Structure 1
Amino acid sequence: MIKYHKTTLLHLALLCILATSCKQQLHYQYQGGYEQIDGQAIPDPETQTFVNPYKEEMEAEMNQVIGESSISLTKGQGESLLGNFVTNIQKEFAEETYGYQVDISLMNNGGMRNELPEGAITLGHIYELSPFDNYLVILELQAADVKNLAEFIARRKNMAIQGLSVVGLEDELLSFQINGKEVMENQTYLLVINDYLANGGDDMEFLAGLPKKEDSNILLRDMLINMIKKKTGKGEKLYAQIEGRQIHN
């Protein structure tokens, strides 16, 4: 069962209290400017007293260790250790949750906002890695859709993939396979992805409108947290390696 975290409630509470009003405003005008703040600025004691308990609770939760990585999981252009780890765990989660095989797992490099260090992995690390409220989606792809995806990956070189292998020369696609096999016409392939990309984000308009087999309310961040905790409970450390999923010449 997915466990959702209460941390965002603290964010909302602070925003509502510090903002002028949380009520909907139909007409709003603002005039103002910027004041330079330097090291001589003194925090308002009353505000600081109010914020401190929330800050301390937030820091305690974010510093909670949820796992351990045997290596630094770094990202970069094309295939990366972090990208392979995230797409691996995303595919594993989807198959465990829905009970059927998923052919391709995909994540955009821009959606991974920070790397994971070697050693202790905290809840804060995962919030830094996945700060956006992106939800898991499973799309149904036909052969032509898979080719569009492979061409995009070969051209942009900014995606992490699992299940789909791509070979490109400069910006052109040379070959692609799914799980070591040629893509077959008249066969449906399942792609697990986040809703931002599924709806055409990052110039992936060719995905928008494709049939959704699953349109979940599961946050990518919560999926990562729960899968890492599960692996930790089994005594496993986080790990990934470069496998030649993408070859860009």
Structure 2
Amino acid sequence: MRFTLLFFLLNFLFFSSCKEEKLHLIKIEGKQIKITDSLSSNQHIEDFIKPFREHINKDLDSVLAYSPNTFTKDDDELNTALGNLMTNIVFSQGNPIFNKRTGKNIDAVVLNHGGIRAPISEGVITTRTAYQVMPFENKIVVAGIKGNKVNEIVDYLVKSKRAHPFLGLKILLDQEYNLIEASINGKNIDENKTYHIATSDYLYNSGDNMSFFKPNESMLNLDYKIRNAMIDYFKKVDTINPVRDDRFIRQ
């Protein structure tokens, strides 16, 4: 009996000591390693990537067109030559695709001021220029929305007091930024009509608080990056000549 009790106690102590303890993370430590010129490069890696780098740079620096002036997104208060150029590119490159697939035309284009990331400088326009102006992978989508949603777009643009690029709409404000009138393709906005508005997939998904593209009557993703549309457009023109106009002004 004593031997049995002793054997039981020894087994109990053994298995109790083998039981896994729960571990808890107390702290994480690390240190910052600065990347500076003092870090030596690996020549083997450099030799490996050199031909790829040279090939990419050659493509990026290929001349596509010419710009007679420098154009920035901050050239004016409510609409700029560069912003107008961007919407013109989206329309001119995107509408033939949309028309071929649906038999309809794009009524308007709406982009955002923050989406333009660099100016177009005076001189040659290269593929690199397109990547600098539009570094994102945003694609052109066309949403079919009712006129009441178009009025929401107008309200957004009026309240923003910013040069968000658009095409097809015309908005006139007074000196206090109050709306005087708005139209689309030269006509009053019909709240019951469906209009086809081209934008980026980022804005379509409520980027920059543009929540007016949903719900909608239809949506077509052209599977065409805005940057690629820029490159294709530049290849077709010799010299760009964007202008600021009266599509969004105060009187």
TM-score by length of 2: 0.78
What are the residue-to-residue correspondences of 1:73-222 with 2, within 5 Å? 73-76=71-74, 77-99=77-99, 100-156=104-160, 157-168=162-173, 170=176, 172-222=178-228
Counterpart amino acid of residue 89 in structure 1: I
1:207 partner SS: coil
Instruction: Find the aligned partners of 1:173 and 1:37 in 2 and give their Cα distance.
Output: 52
Measured after TM superposition, the shift of residue 248 of structure 1 is: 4.6
| Structure 1 pair 70–212 and aligned structure 2 pair: CA distance change class (3 A) | farther
Unpaired runs of at least 5, structure 2: 1-27
Does residue 50 (structure 1) correspond to residue 48 (structure 2)? The answer is yes
Decide whether the 8 Å contact of 2:140 with 2:201 is kept in 1. yes
Measured after TM superposition, the shift of residue 104 of structure 1 is: 0.8
| Structure 1 pair 83–210 and aligned structure 2 pair: CA distance change class (3 A) | same
Instruction: Find the aligned partners of 1:33 and 1:51 in 2 and give their Cα distance.
Output: 29
Instruction: Find the aligned partners of 1:224 and 1:160 in 2 and give their Cα distance.
Output: 15
Q: Which residue of 2 aligns with 1:25?
A: none
CA-based RMSD:
2.1
1:168-207 deviation per Cα after TM superposition (whole angstroms, max 9, x unaligned): 3556433211122211232221111111111111101222
Instruction: Find the aligned partners of 1:205 and 1:31 in 2 and give their Cα distance.
Output: 42
Unpaired runs of at least 5, structure 1: 1-29
Instruction: Find the aligned partners of 1:32 and 1:51 in 2 and give their Cα distance.
Output: 30
| Structure 1 pair 166–113 and aligned structure 2 pair: CA distance change class (3 A) | same
Instruction: Find the aligned partners of 1:80 and 1:210 in 2 and give their Cα distance.
Output: 29
Instruction: Find the aligned partners of 1:60 and 1:130 in 2 and give their Cα distance.
Output: 19
More displaced stretch, 114-123 vs 210-219: 210-219
How many residue pairs align between the two structures?
Answer: 216
TM-score by length of 1: 0.79
Instruction: Find the aligned partners of 1:209 and 1:31 in 2 and give their Cα distance.
Output: 48
Instruction: Find the aligned partners of 1:146 and 1:84 in 2 and give their Cα distance.
Output: 19
Measured after TM superposition, the shift of residue 163 of structure 1 is: 1.0
Instruction: Find the aligned partners of 2:178 and 2:34 in 1 and give their Cα distance.
Output: 49
Instruction: Find the aligned partners of 1:38 and 1:248 in 2 and give their Cα distance.
Output: 50
| Structure 1 pair 40–185 and aligned structure 2 pair: CA distance change class (3 A) | closer
Decide whether the 8 Å contact of 1:142 with 1:187 is kept in 2. yes
> Which has the greater radius of gyration?
2
Q: Which residue of 1 aligns with 2:242?
A: 240
Counterpart amino acid of residue 247 in structure 1: I
Instruction: Find the aligned partners of 2:125 and 2:163 in 1 and give their Cα distance.
Output: 25
1:133-185 deviation per Cα after TM superposition (whole angstroms, max 9, x unaligned): 11111111222111100110111124101110123355643321112221123
